[in-house]
Structure 1
Amino acid sequence: MMKTREENIQDYIDGLLKGEELIAFETQLAIDGQLREDLSLQQEIQSILAQRINNSEHELRDSLRKAEQTVRSPKGKNKSKPLYRVLIPLLAAACILIVFKLFYNPSAGFYQLPIMESEIVRGAAENGKYEDAVNAFNSQSFGQAREILEQLLHSDSLNVQYKYYHALTYYGEENWAESIAKLEPIAKGESVFARESSYYLAIAYTKENKNEEAISLLQQIEEDDELGRKAGKLLKELQ
């Protein structure tokens, strides 16, 4: 699957382009002004993100508010600045605030849990309980989410979706042994959750110093989407 322009730019920044890919990108960079501008923009955004990564949430909210005021200031004051340069602080502050609020972890990147999505499940009572589990999981109340998911599994013991998020509650608590035990059967199965389970199982393996098992799993994940790209980058770090 051909990578997008944005993916190529990010891979170039991360130093992941090699051989012919690197030569082709740098050749295009020399003749394509828009590509150079896009690269510069992406590097600038990441620089701002890095500078703000240790700020408190209060400081981040201040950054967001100030950036918003800048964007909304009278037109004449910002006439000399390209629009994207005005928006960079707003974008950076907003992204960081979301990261801190929803799923920020100092080790970040590879280890972030997915957001548990709301879905319609069978029966009004079950649907209400599932929404409670979603809210608990996404607020990182993993013990509470697990209790609700166990109730749902009692009524529907074969539901792989319940099992998957139930396993991730242990992952969220950094109970690696238990998360491995729960994720392994899902990863070996054929459900839509098998691939994601393999990814998080591989990470849990690394936490238990089982890098060979992690590498074996990561090698099976195709790099055709964001999860696959993360798996590929983690694989390179482990090898």
Structure 2
Amino acid sequence: MPTPHISAAIGDIAETVLMPGDPYRAKWAAETYLDDIKLVNEVRGMLGFTGTYKGNPVTIHGSGMGMPSISIYANELITEYGAKTLIRIGSCGAMQHHIKVRDVVIAMTATTMGTTPSAGFFKEINYAPCANYGLLEAAVAAARQKDTGVHVGNIYSSDIFYAERPDLDEVMIRHGILGVEMEAAELYTVAARHGVRALGVMTVSDHLLTHEALPSDQREKSFGDMVEIALEAAFAA
């Protein structure tokens, strides 16, 4: 039955769910890559669409910005609608010189400040959120078939968009953190709690070191590789 945040009927949500932060990016991705799409949610403007990709049922549902927001949607999609594979598709800021704008970052693990909503579950334990290996392996294989740079490793899921901690950035860069975004760590944690698969595939939209940024009118084309990688990985793994 519907939840406080999702009005879809039971059966309207596929077991495979792609989760962009922006609900309008969910609309664009569904219209571009899925067949026979149906709007299944628009509560609070958070759009969700279900269709098929190469005959496989897929839902593309917005998550909102930040870990508390994706935690709500991931929990409800898993516990109330039976989602089994959840893949975050979104943007990130690069934190290494060898990574370029428009490259794809696949998050093997996700570092946090330890203030995610899940911190209350672990108390003194520093839990290490990580991707499902089968999805990770399949995404890397799919990415290598494309003419785009791909990087796999540790990312930083931040609680703050307008951060003012250059000292913290310096430490993370030194330790090889690939990029920064705001959702993957909590998605990985929720998925692990419920025994389902999760992965984060992000397009580099800006660069913390060079200050280069992808113009808004070029983002959709650049984000296409990310969506295709996520879809191929979901059904190869």
TM-score range normalised by the length of the shorter chain: under 0.3
Q: Scaled by the length of structure 1, what TM-score is found?
A: 0.26
The structure that is helix-richer by fraction is 1
The structure that is strand-richer by fraction is 2
Larger Rg: 1
| Bigger RCO of structures 1 and 2 (CA < 8 A, at least 6 apart) | 2
